[in-house]
Structure 1
């Protein structure tokens, strides 16, 4: 991600999450359920993916009993939940590559809603694999401007991080593999370096710059997609003008 807009993107994302707290819980419950079904267990310690989903749910202040019920529904202990994971790929305004991960009990409904959102905002659906090759799955721990670079660098690399990237604004990102993500977060937090934001995400190898007009359309498209109940995550390679992200914070 372009150095000038890293932290603006994070602030924008966090603000969007705060505005959609109710929907976030719905999506997280579905994520926990799917992860429990995939791992065939309701025990987060027995499944790395379920552990990550449960940690995200706790981070969103979801009640413990709600999380436990979702785990048991997914594993079949409280009756099976029939969600299918489907990934859609396509392009947004300005040729931005987009990945849309869904968990759905009605594929026909979901694909129709995703296609409508894309077409409404100047995008189009692609075929499977048409853009996913541009992205890599990795863990990203983000730190606000002003973090102690030397301390972070030493602690992160000692804990097995792949890289520490400092931005022009003084913010930092620690990059790691998905498998090492949970342990790295725990280790750095224990060392007094709790990240301001942390996630396992799909990160594009290269970004596509968009102008203000297409940047506005892209943000509206992302908002519309994330409002869909079946959509779990939206990833893109758009380099959105920082002015748009700053304006959204005001």
Structure 2
């Protein structure tokens, strides 16, 4: 068994995100609306809105669309009445899964999420059943070949908590959620562009899956991420490099 590759797993996750690209604008607009409602319409004074704005820009969303979503959220108009819900459970092989949703219909959402779990050999758990297995943090992942010395210098000066490099040369930087924006800005100023940058739920430990379990888990994640009400999916699952599903 080859063991799992962090870089290969990152690429598979990016592949899943690309597959749902058609729904990305809808999810980002919902995120902008909720952020503006919760923290106000000024992205400079609302870190959550700033992050959603950055996502929209990265997805090539027109500025007019962004402004309309902010106005809906800040004004409390139609489309702003979303509820944030987190679902937790287990997939095959005991891999933990956290599903963050924004919905205007809790009954519909829980039914869709439960169906995705049960259809692929998982089960939906109670609140708090797996969230303790994850750490809420800022995460930045740099491709092999990036200057470890430069990343380390910029990260620590900007207030990052930890910098780790694995045997493949993948560099991972983590920060406290409150320091995420400062670290992101510092990397941008230094011309360092991570493959992954996000506020995330990082697993404290990983559950390595292979063969059929890997394929089943991958399918479950794809189904969950394709649901309209699902914003983010986090899991402890990683896949063997030799056995990752195509």
Same fold (TM over 0.5): yes
- SS of alignment partner, residue 138 of structure 2: strand
Higher deviation after alignment, 189-198 or 101-110: 189-198
- SS of alignment partner, residue 84 of structure 2: strand
Residue 32 of structure 1 corresponds to: 32
Residue 199 of structure 1 corresponds to: 198
Normalising by structure 1, we get a TM-score of 0.93
CA RMSD of aligned residues (A): 1.5
Answer whether contact 2:144 2:168 (CA < 8 A) is retained: yes
**Closer, same or farther in 2 for the Cα pair 1:221/1:4, shift >3 Å?**
closer
Encode CA deviations 1:182-213: one digit per residue, 9 max, x unaligned: 22111112112122221111011111222221
User: Cα distance, 1:18 vs. partner?
Assistant: 2.2
Answer whether contact 1:189 1:195 (CA < 8 A) is retained: no
- SS of alignment partner, residue 44 of structure 1: coil
The structure 1 segments of at least 4 consecutive aligned residues displaced by more than 4 Å after TM superposition are 77-80
Answer whether contact 2:4 2:240 (CA < 8 A) is retained: no
Residue 135 of structure 2 corresponds to: 136
Distance 2:63 2:218 in 1: 33
Residue 23 of structure 1 corresponds to: 23
Residue 58 of structure 1 corresponds to: 57
Encode CA deviations 1:20-58: one digit per residue, 9 max, x unaligned: 21211111111111111111x111112111111111111
Distance 1:187 1:130 in 2: 36
Higher deviation after alignment, 114-123 or 50-59: 50-59
More helix by share: 1
Normalising by structure 2, we get a TM-score of 0.94
Distance 1:123 1:239 in 2: 16
Distance 2:227 2:53 in 1: 22
Residue 228 of structure 1 corresponds to: 227
User: Cα distance, 1:61 vs. partner?
Assistant: 1.1
Answer whether contact 2:4 2:238 (CA < 8 A) is retained: no
Where structure 2 has 5 or more consecutive residues not aligned to the other structure, the ranges are none
Where structure 1 has 5 or more consecutive residues not aligned to the other structure, the ranges are none
- SS of alignment partner, residue 81 of structure 2: coil
User: Cα distance, 1:4 vs. partner?
Assistant: 4.6
After superposition, residues 89-100 of structure 1 pair within 5 angstroms as 89-100=88-99
Answer whether contact 1:4 1:168 (CA < 8 A) is retained: no
Answer whether contact 2:9 2:238 (CA < 8 A) is retained: no
Residue 217 of structure 1 corresponds to: 216
The answer to whether residue 166 in structure 2 is matched with residue 157 in structure 1 is no
After superposition, residues 61-76 of structure 1 pair within 5 angstroms as 61-76=60-75
Instruction: Name the count of aligned residue pairs.
Output: 244
- SS of alignment partner, residue 151 of structure 1: helix
Distance 1:223 1:174 in 2: 26
